[in-house]
Amino acid sequence: MSAWLIGVAIVLIGAALWYLLIATEGVYLGRRVVIALYDLYARRYDRIKQFDEAWELQTLATPLVKALSGVPQPLILDVATGTGRVPKLLRRVPHFNGQVIGVDYSWQMLRRAAEKLGKSRRTVLIHQDATQLPFSDATFDAVVCLEALEFLPDQAAALAEIVRVARPSAPILLTNRRGFYARLLRGKVRSSAAFAERLRREYGLEQVEVEAWQMEYDLIWAIKGGQADEMARPRTWQAVLRCPRCAQVGFRKESERRLRCAHCDQTLTFAEGILRYAAALRTTKGERSVSFG
Tell me the DSSP string of 202-234: HH-EEEEEEEE-SSSEEEEEEEE-S---GGG--
Q: Are residues 60 and 40 in the same domain?
A: no
Mean pLDDT of the chain: 90
Range of the domain at 21: 3-48
Q: Are residues 107 and 14 in the same domain?
A: no
Q: Are residues 158 and 191 in the same domain?
A: yes
pTM of the model: 0.92
Q: Are residues 44 and 57 in the same domain?
A: no
Residue 221 lies in a domain: yes
Instruction: Convert the pLDDT of each residue in 53-83 to its tens digit.
Output: 999 999 999 999 999 998 989 999 999 999 9
Q: Are residues 9 and 86 in the same domain?
A: no
Q: Are 247 and 292 in contact (CB under 8 A)?
A: yes
| pLDDT band, residue 288 (cuts 50/70/90) | very low
Residue where a domain terminates, one of 232, 254, 269: 232
Residue 246 lies in a domain: no
Length of the chain measured in residues = 293
β-pairing verdict for 123-127 and 171-177: unpaired
Residue where a domain terminates, one of 191, 206, 232: 232
Q: Are residues 16 and 57 in the same domain?
A: no
Q: Are 218 and 251 in contact (CB under 8 A)?
A: no
HSE of 260 in the Cβ direction (CA atoms, 13 Å)? 6
Separation of alpha carbons 265 and 166, rounded Å: 28
- Percent of the chain with pLDDT strictly greater than 90: 67
End-to-end CA distance of the chain: 57
Q: Are residues 57 and 200 in the same domain?
A: yes
Write down the pLDDT at residue 11: 79
Number of domains in the chain: 2
Separation of alpha carbons 83 and 234, rounded Å: 26
Burial bucket for residue 99 (CB in 10 Å: 0-12, 13-18, 19+): buried
Residue where a domain terminates, one of 209, 232, 255: 232
* 286 pLDDT higher than 60: no
Separation of alpha carbons 239 and 287, rounded Å: 24
